[in-house]
């Protein structure tokens, strides 16, 4: 059970809740509840004293000069989530939508949004009962926060729009009625508190980071197997060599490769002095991603554990602070950076695939890694089409690396005249991850085929392989048998992608 208060939440916490590996609850600690109540009570008192509060007694954004009559103040939050109901495109998966709920709840739990305990508890109910809002992907410019997609969360809290529940898409009102959940009536400022923040991009960022960490390890294991398949020079990953360029992530990847390949003292006369860059420089490519993780984690977790709406309500000190904490620039940078490093992994693995399937470069393996024998060789094509598809996926991943953050637009009557595009960057990153996982699934199948062909040729002895490589071969073969006769591989490739996304294989212990 993960207990939410205003203490530090990690990327792993968000991922575990989103993947339903852990449950969530609000803290019952008196000091936490008092902090929430102070902000809410302060707003109530301020309203009674006719204090002017942005988004409470005024319109929103450029309409902040419009004063709201006191008898209409309570209706304003409903209008906010209603007119923002213009999201388009696909809806976020239930996993990503859960991450969004956790990110928004974590921010509101900081105690600087002026919301009531009832609102926090309503969000808690959604997560505990797995009532997940249908959130359209498109419509956010990443400042003033994720307004349009978060309007769908707000509407669901109030019993409107649609949700995923028990594998079906249903009307929220019906589900609430079935579970005896009372729709929330928003207090002044609460609509703004939910919507005017970075929860969509931050939730997606947490899940992207979580996937990328595993992908870095998997790309390393694939590189080890591609080195074996092509009779490569494992001493490119020598410890002394990597001590001389001390990037920690790069050194970690080289150490993993040495572990997989049992690298000892360099031979005096290796078969080949230098492999092509996609093998020799693999630690330098994967290492860039590994070395980016610590500071990407800092950017994402700082955003996750921040109060990021506007205005900020300081109930303790009695201040209403107007600022721009809804701006998603840090997540935009994190996602634009991460998608770049991930796409480079796709490119690296695609080049390894090209080496293994081409007789000019694979050092004695059959064309396209075909496992056919005798006259059957003439009509079998092995991984020929898979190699083409792998290049298509890698190219598309690379295409998505254009930074979204440089495409700021002026919106909302030039009030939001500089925006982050963080949510688009986060969505791009998810797409790049999907494509790169598809590349990894294909190249891993090819690597297994290549290593097994070497064993058949008597150039590798299975007893000399590391236990980790042997275990990987066995695990893959439970999903996809060796390719001896041509067959459609789409089902097996999809199963491989699922296994990657579920982190089915234990990789490196010292990660």
Helix (H) or strand (E) holding 25: strand 24-26
Beta strands 132-133; 168-171: pairing state: unpaired
**Would you call the peptide bond into 273 cis, given omega within 30 degrees of 0 as the criterion?**
no
25: β partners? 3
What single-letter DSSP state applies at residue 403? -
Burial class (CB in 10 A: 0-12, 13-18, 19+), 431: middle
More confident residue, 60 or 338: 338
- What residues act catalytically? 54
Q: What is the mean pLDDT of residues 254-263?
A: 93
Answer for the pair 206, 333: CB distance below 8 angstroms, yes or no: no
What single-letter DSSP state applies at residue 319? E
Domain 209-314+324-501 has CATH 1.10.3720.10: no
- CA dihedral of residues 336, 342, 348, 349 (deg, nearest 10): -150
pLDDT at 12: 98
Distances (CA, A) of 345 to 238, 253, 282, 338: 21, 13, 9, 11
In the predicted structure, residue 256 carries a pLDDT above the cut 60 = yes
Q: How far apart are CA 318 and CA 299, in angstroms?
A: 29
Sheet with 162-165, edge to edge strand ranges: 132-133, 162-165, 168-171
Of 52-56, 237-241, 364-368, which range is least confident? 52-56
Residue 148's Cα: distance from chain center in Å? Answer: 20
Of 68-72, 277-281, 357-361, which range is least confident? 68-72
Answer for the pair 449, 369: CB distance below 8 angstroms, yes or no: yes
Location of each CATH 1.10.275.10 domain in the chain: 2-197
Phi, psi of 364 (to 5 degrees): 105, 0
Q: How far apart are CA 248 and CA 452, in angstroms?
A: 33
In the predicted structure, residue 511 carries a pLDDT above the cut 70 = no
Distances (CA, A) of 248 to 298, 301, 459: 17, 21, 34
Helices 117-128 and 94-108, packing angle to 10 deg: 160
In the predicted structure, residue 308 carries a pLDDT above the cut 70 = yes
Of 51-55, 333-337, 403-407, which range is least confident? 51-55
Share above pLDDT 70 across residues of the chain, in percent, rounded to a whole number: 98
Q: Which residue carries 């005096």 as its tokens?
A: 268
Which residues are CB-contacts of 412 (< 8 A; sequence separation ≥ 6)?
61, 62, 144
pLDDT at 269: 57
CATH number of 2-197: 1.10.275.10
pLDDT digits (tens, 9 = 90+) for 187-223: 988 999 999 999 999 999 999 999 999 999 999 999 9
In the predicted structure, residue 431 carries a pLDDT above the cut 60 = yes
pLDDT at 266: 58
Residue (of 164, 160, 217, 215) closest to 191 by Cα position: 160
In the predicted structure, residue 265 carries a pLDDT above the cut 90 = no
| Band of pLDDT at residue 44, cut at 50, 70 and 90 | confident
pLDDT digits (tens, 9 = 90+) for 72-102: 878 888 999 999 999 999 999 999 999 999 9
pLDDT at 50: 65
What single-letter DSSP state applies at residue 98? H
In the predicted structure, residue 268 carries a pLDDT above the cut 60 = no
Alpha carbons within 13 A on the beta-carbon side of 264: 2
Q: Which residue carries 């390719």 as its tokens?
A: 483
In the predicted structure, residue 61 carries a pLDDT above the cut 80 = no
Buried b (16+ CB within 10 A) or exposed e, 292-316: bbeebbebbbebbbbbbbbbbbbbe
pLDDT at 60: 76
Location of each CATH 1.20.200.10 domain in the chain: 209-314+324-501
Q: What's the whole-number average pLDDT of the chain? A: 94
Q: How far apart are CA 225 and CA 25, in angstroms?
A: 44
């Amino acid at each position: 059970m993960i207990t939410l208060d205003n203490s530090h939440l990690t990327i792993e916490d968000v991922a575990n809740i989103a993947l339903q590996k852990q449950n969530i609850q609000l803290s019952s600690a008196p000091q936490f509840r008092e902090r929430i109540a102070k902000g809410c009570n302060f707003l109530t008192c301020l309203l009674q004293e006719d204090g002017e509060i942005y988004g409470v007694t005024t319109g929103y954004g450029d309409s902040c000069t419009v004063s709201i009559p006191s008898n209409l103040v309570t209706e304003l939050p409903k209008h906010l989530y209603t007119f923002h109901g213009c999201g388009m495109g696909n809806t976020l998966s239930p996993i990503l939508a859960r991450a969004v709920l956790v990110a928004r709840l974590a921010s509101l739990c900081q105690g600087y949004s002026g919301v009531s305990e009832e609102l926090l508890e309503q969000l808690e109910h959604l997560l505990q009962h797995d009532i997940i809002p249908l959130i359209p992907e498109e419509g956010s410019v990443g400042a003033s926060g994720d307004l349009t997609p978060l309007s769908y969360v707000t509407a669901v809290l109030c019993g409107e729009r649609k949700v995923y529940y028990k594998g079906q898409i249903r009307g929220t009102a019906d589900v609430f009625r079935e579970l005896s959940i009372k729709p929330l009536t928003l207090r002044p400022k609460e609509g703004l508190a939910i919507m005017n923040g970075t929860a969509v991009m931050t939730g997606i960022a947490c899940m992207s980071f979580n996937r990328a960490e595993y992908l870095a390890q998997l790309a390393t294991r694939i590189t080890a197997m591609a080195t074996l398949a092509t009779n490569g020079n494992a001493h490119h990953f020598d410890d002394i060599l990597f001590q001389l360029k001390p990037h920690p992530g790069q050194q970690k990847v080289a150490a993993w490769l040495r572990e997989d390949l049992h690298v000892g003292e360099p031979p005096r006369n290796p078969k080949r002095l230098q492999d092509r860059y996609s093998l020799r420089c693999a630690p330098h490519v994967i290492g860039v991603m590994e070395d980016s993780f610590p500071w990407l984690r800092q950017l994402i977790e700082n955003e996750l554990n921040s109060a990021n709406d506007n205005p900020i309500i300081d109930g303790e000190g009695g201040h209403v602070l107007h600022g721009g904490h809804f701006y998603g620039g840090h997540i935009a940078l994190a996602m634009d950076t991460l998608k770049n490093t991930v796409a480079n992994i796709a490119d690296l693995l695609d080049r390894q695939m090209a080496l293994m399937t081409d007789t000019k470069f694979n050092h004695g393996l059959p064309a396209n890694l075909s496992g056919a024998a005798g006259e059957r060789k003439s009509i079998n094509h092995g991984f020929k089409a898979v190699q083409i598809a792998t290049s298509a996926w890698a190219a598309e991943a690379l295409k998505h690396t254009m930074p979204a953050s440089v495409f700021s637009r002026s919106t909302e009557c030039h009030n939001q005249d500089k925006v982050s595009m963080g949510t688009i960057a986060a969505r791009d990153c998810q797409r790049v991850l999907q494509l790169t996982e598809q590349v990894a699934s294909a190249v891993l199948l090819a690597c297994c085929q290549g290593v097994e062909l070497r064993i058949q040729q008597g150039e590798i002895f299975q007893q000399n392989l590391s236990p980790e490589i042997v275990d990987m071969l066995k695990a893959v073969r439970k999903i996809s048998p060796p390719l001896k006769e041509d067959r459609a591989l789409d089902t097996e490739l999809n199963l491989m992608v699922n296994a990657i996304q579920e982190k089915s294989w234990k990789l490196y212990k010292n990660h």
